[in-house]
Structure 1
Amino acid sequence: MNAPVTGTEDLIYTIEGGIAKIVFNRPQARNAMTFAMYDQMASICEGINGDPSVKALIITGAGDKAFASGTDISQFRAFKTAQDALDYEGRIDRVLGTLEGCRVPVIAAIAGACTGGGAGIAACCDIRIGTASARMGFPIARTLGNCLSMSNISRVVALVGPARTKDMIFKARLVEAEEALAIGLLSEIVPDVETLQVRALETAKLVASHAPITLEVTKEAVRRIRRTLSRDEGEELLLRAYMSEDFREGMDAFLNKRAPNWKGK
């Protein structure tokens, strides 16, 4: 039977037969992530690192509309200073770094929109399985006018290369499932949500049956091979985006459901 562990209404966590599962449970908000949800996910990964009974982790979103549609925009309302921006990116880097460093294989089961912070979470996972309706990307050049953290840029470039990274972000487009499979954003496509959950569990059980140290050291070796830009290397870039008039305009336009008026300053 499922054993709930530190679950909340917005994020449900269960373990069954050595397979842990996180469900982002805000379907009414397209599973947009609150700061509390980010922190809870990191805490779960830290717990898994100290629990040898857990062999694999599945991350998914409730419903069929979204895996996670990014950070809940209302979380940005309090941004006033440069330190607010740096603290936010530092928090997200810590969370995603903890997810990426989770010792067990992490499988993202993706249905619908996987955008912004949600796509960042997916990029940290080891295996990404999507439905035919899955769409992935970072449409921030069209919506908010902010930027990805240096760590997230590094992860996306490692997955799809620099040219495709710029193409996705410059055009603010979402990559459909078939293209995502072709360029390495997805490992596999299944037809629907029901099949997705079955396939994610099958995959988790398969990797859980293999030598755990082999999986752990391979995962860590791949992480070490990939060069990750540090926050310090991109601090001035983060501040240029988050302290801009365009970011305030993008946030106001998004919350008021209107088109932003970009000024480039």
Structure 2
Amino acid sequence: MPDGHETLLEIEDLSVHYRSTHGDVAAVSGVNLSVRRGEILGIAGESGSGKSTLAVALLRLLRPPGYIAGGSVTFRPKNSPEVDLLNLDERRLRVLRWRSLSYLPQGSMNSMNPVMRVEGQFRDVIEEHSSLSRSQIDAMIPRLLGQVGLEPSVARMYPHELSGGMKQRVLMAISIALEPDLVVADEPTTALDVTIQRVILQSLADLRSAFGVTLVVISHDMGVHAQLVDRVAVMYEGAVVEVGDVRQVFKQPSHEYTRSLIDSIPKIGPVATPAPVGQSEAL
């Protein structure tokens, strides 16, 4: 958890709509949310609650028919003046991406170039967004892979040679290659088995410890938030209905929807034995 309460990202009254033949549909409605430097903030909610739409909107990755209907997103990178990401020109936004602001998308299976080795995918990002030489980049790659628990030999592999968990960790390594201020991870454990999920969660926690990276972790799985985040924001029907310290939210949720999400977590304990057919429980 960060020592202070310096705000890195401030989302104010953000609304996102999708155009349809039946009129505009609000996917995100008037969201107000802050992200503190150095923390891991979780965004929770079931599918369709607006979590991923919120992420791609603040990163300016929203595609038609979606559009930003209103609001502002103030970003305060280190050693640079604050900017409103929603009103930033494309040139300045391109400078910020990867160097100050990174995105770990859903679906690692579809997020890598299938005909390029892993090392080439690192080079593409780093050469485009930094002035490092080829030799400097090549020296970085084994270290970055090691940070997420992968062997240096992975650099020479193609995506089809990697498991789903390995692909996800490669993308994590690429996302922190230039030590950005903020990484947004959208459903980082989806479609992975529970053993690999644990590895991914530990790798995300290590990124904060090793690099001081601020993380926004989007997940429908409340168990992920319980294990990883410092604070959690709960979204329901496009709105944030509760924000708080993760322990406080789990112990005393203030919104009925949050309670239902917590109750959906599988629990270990004795199972009540049903009464024999034809007998009451009192017997």
TM-score range, shorter chain: under 0.3
When Rg is computed on C-alpha atoms for both structures, the one with the higher figure is 2
Say which structure is richer in helix: 1
| Bigger RCO (CA 8 Å, 6+ sep) | 2
**Structure that is richer in strand per residue:** 2
